Amino acid sequence: AQSVTQPDIHITVSEGASLELRCNYSYGATPYLFWYVQSPGQGLQLLLKYFSGDTLVQGIKGFEAEFKRSQSSFNLRKPSVHWSDAAEYFCAVGPYNNNDMRFGAGTRLTVKP
Amino acid sequence: NAGVTQTPKFQVLKTGQSMTLQCAQDMNHNSMYWYRQDPGMGLRLIYYSASEGTTDKGEVPNGYNVSRLNKREFSLRLESAAPSQTSVYFCASSENTGSFYGYTFGSGTRLTVV
């Protein structure tokens, strides 16, 4: 069973518009949550992570994410998207079996001029 | 720049051929991982090495073997390649297992088995 769900396979936004990418997970306790970004032909780069404490976390490149325990969600947001944000975004949850991180299927972001 | 280096970047194999994917990190990380990325499925863990001298199976280990050669290097071997192993393979490392610190990924190896 999929442990991490990213409901949107592909999202298109206009440059300058706001962005929200959804992530839902199933986990027995408080998880460690991550967002990664993958530019074409590149590996994954960590954008931000949540372990505990403040449920709103700030990351690199102007991204933020909010952990909502009641909704089992960890959505990624950005107030104003730039063309360089076009990439694929992965949500990840762990640990499983003390060593594994499970990834969602990814959301591909297209930015229109 | 410090990071994870994977070789080769691209490879085409015929069914039944063997090959080894190489991975090296220079961040003094203890743990290393091999993932495969397939469209619509995200990344799935093949094998990992929690520390030098140890290796364990992940979610999809069938058809693969690994070697943790030393603290820096972690290789993935396909003994008899099959078309189902066509994928993009990523090596990653982290300070320790448990995902506490996130992973550093290599740039990937795109493998096609014909």
- Residue B21 predicted with pLDDT over 80: yes
Q: What residues contact B81, with CB distance under 8 A and at least 6 apart?
A: B13, B14, B15, B16, B17, B18, B19, B111, B113
Give per-residue pLDDT as tens, B36-80: 999 888 899 999 999 999 999 998 999 999 999 999 999 999 999
Average pLDDT over residues A69-92: 96
pLDDT of residue B109: 95
Calculate what percentage of chain A has a pLDDT beyond 90: 74
In B, which residues are within 8 Å of A108 by CB distance? none
* Confidence category of residue B99, pLDDT binned at 50, 70, 90: low
B42 contacts A105? CB cut-off 8 A: yes
- What pLDDT score was predicted for residue A87? 96
CB-CB under 8 Å, B4 with A43: yes
Task: Tell me the residues of chain A between 12 and 51 that have a Cβ less than 8 Å away from chain B.
Answer: 32, 34, 36, 41-46, 49, 51
Nearest CA-CA partner of A57 in A43, A44, A68, A42: A68
State the smallest CA–CA distance between residue B17 and chain A in angstroms.
Answer: 25
Q: Which residues of chain B neighbour A42 with C-beta distances below 8 Å?
A: 107-108
Residue B108 has φ and ψ, to the nearest 5°, of 95, 155
- Which chain B residues in 23-82 lie under 8 Å from chain A, judged by CB atoms? 31, 35, 40-45, 48, 50, 56, 58-59
pLDDT at B87 over 70: yes
**Which one, of B26, B18, B25, B23, lies nearest residue B34 by Cα?**
B23
Structure tokens, A78: 């950005």
What pLDDT, on the 0 to 100 scale, is given for residue B16? 97
- pLDDT of A79 > 90? The answer is yes
Which residues in chain B are contacts of A4 at CB distance < 8 A?
42
Check pLDDT > 60 for residue B22: yes
Touching check for A86 and chain B: CB below 8 Å?
no
Arithmetic mean of pLDDT over chain B: 92
The per-residue pLDDT for A23 is 97
Banded pLDDT at A110 (limits 50, 70, 90): very high
pLDDT in tens, A4-52: 999 999 999 999 999 999 999 998 788 899 999 999 888 899 999 998 8
Residues in chain A: 113
Q: Residue A27: what pLDDT?
A: 86
Model pLDDT, residue A40: 86
CA distance A19 to A23: 13
The reply to whether residue B50 touches residue A99, judged by beta carbons under 8 angstroms, is yes
